[in-house]
Amino acid sequence: MCRLFALHADQPVTAQMWLMDAPYSLVTQSRFNADGTGLAWVDEATGQVQVRKRPIAAYRSERFGRIAQQVRTRSMIAHVRLSSGTQHTTENTHPFVQDGIVSAHNGVLEVTSGMKQRVRQLGTAHHVHGTTDSEWMAALVTGEVAAHGDDLHDGVVAALDWIARNVPVYSVNLLAMRGDELIAVRLPATNELWVLERSATAADPREPLEQSSDSLRVDSEDLQDVRSVVIASEPMDDDAGWRLMDPGELIHVGPGATMTSERPFGPLAQALTIDDLGLSAAASQAHAAQAREHEQRRQRLARRLASRRAA
């Protein structure tokens, strides 16, 4: 299953902590998800989106490491890909950037003739250059944003509501970013999506962000005194602050890394199970070794959270 990552902060920071150094960093996750690597961020000088992506594993990419260490931004999305059967090409590698909107997805949905027709009606089919369901979904989001007064939130809700009502869906976990806005959606419960919110007040100076696992502990001075929200497909350390998003939940992060949550979606009209998927798609969504590791990590997080509440 592809892995998603997003960072939104109230001041420019590097994402090295999460991408490279954390106990369960994205570069570590790329060893299971080695079919493509992509990063997109908002340039602090110009306000424009920059994107770098290639159909290679992050752990094999020197450029991935350089970007993680050098780029300072308030907003970033990253993705490591495990193909569900489509080719390993740059065109099929996430994130996608369309009319200034950055998006990335994990899961599977069926791109029906009706979905393609809806994208054509919205005037955004020209954005589709590859063969993935994710890029068609991105074009639907882009079109609905334009149709809803250029409102990112309303466009994402409209696009995913249309998908939920009209096409077979296994999972449409989605990240969408533009400027100082970030949206994350977990729909339905099939694939996990986690959030870690780090708040701050001037009266409560913070220690450097510490990440830890049973075998590794790392500090980040760069993230000291920074309000931030991180979205990830799995917890990237054993911090009890990680929260699993609810099925159907939408998180909206705005200027200053302020976060709101809502549940605007109804049930899927055509929910798929893993048995409904083709062999390649099913293999991309299930990995026994990863599943065991994730379950062990969830248990550790639950114990840490219970201990913190008891204290």
pLDDT tens readout for residues 156-206: 999 999 999 999 999 999 999 999 999 999 999 989 999 999 876 433 444
56, pLDDT greater than 80: no
Answer whether 176's CB lies under 8 Å from 101's CB: yes
pLDDT at 96 (0 to 100) = 96
**pLDDT score for 24:** 87
- Determine, yes or no, domain membership for 124: no
CA-to-CA separations, 131 to 115, 142, 177, 229, in angstroms, rounded: 14, 17, 22, 31
Confidence of residue 309 (pLDDT cuts 50, 70, 90): low
R_g of the chain, CA atoms, integer Å: 18
- State percent of the chain over pLDDT 90: 55
Residue 92 has pLDDT above 80, yes or no: yes
Mean pLDDT (whole number) for 53-70: 85
Tell me the β-bridge partners of 3: 80
Model's pTM, two decimal places? Answer: 0.83
Here the CATH number for the domain that contains residue 87 is 3.60.20.10
- pLDDT one-digit tens code per residue, 94-137: 899 999 999 999 989 999 999 999 999 999 999 999 999 999 99
The domain containing residue 279 runs over which residues? 3-108+173-310
Quick one: pLDDT at residue 304? 66
Confidence (pLDDT) at 220: 45
Please, are residues 245 and 194 in contact by the beta-carbon 8 Å criterion?
A: yes
Is there a domain that residue 166 lies in?
no
Q: Any residues with CB less than 8 A from the CB of 90 and at least 6 apart, and which?
A: 53, 54, 55
In a domain, 136, yes or no: no
Given pLDDT bands bounded at 50, 70 and 90, which one contains residue 276? confident
pLDDT at 285 over 70: no
* Residue of higher predicted confidence among 286 and 38: 38
Q: What does the pLDDT read at residue 31?
A: 78
Percentage with pLDDT > 70 across the chain: 78
Residue 279 lies in a domain: yes
Would 154 be classed as within a structural domain?
no
Task: Give the phi and the psi of residue 40 in degrees, each rounded to 5.
Answer: -140, 140
Asked whether residue 165 is domain-assigned, the answer is: no
What pLDDT score does 296 carry?
67
For 242-264, what is each residue's pLDDT tens digit? 999 999 999 999 998 999 999 99
Evaluate whether residue 150 is within a structural domain.
Answer: no
Q: How far apart are CA 145 and CA 152, in angstroms?
A: 5
Q: How many domains does the chain have?
A: 1
Q: 216 pLDDT exceeds 50?
A: no
Q: Is residue 67 part of a domain?
A: yes
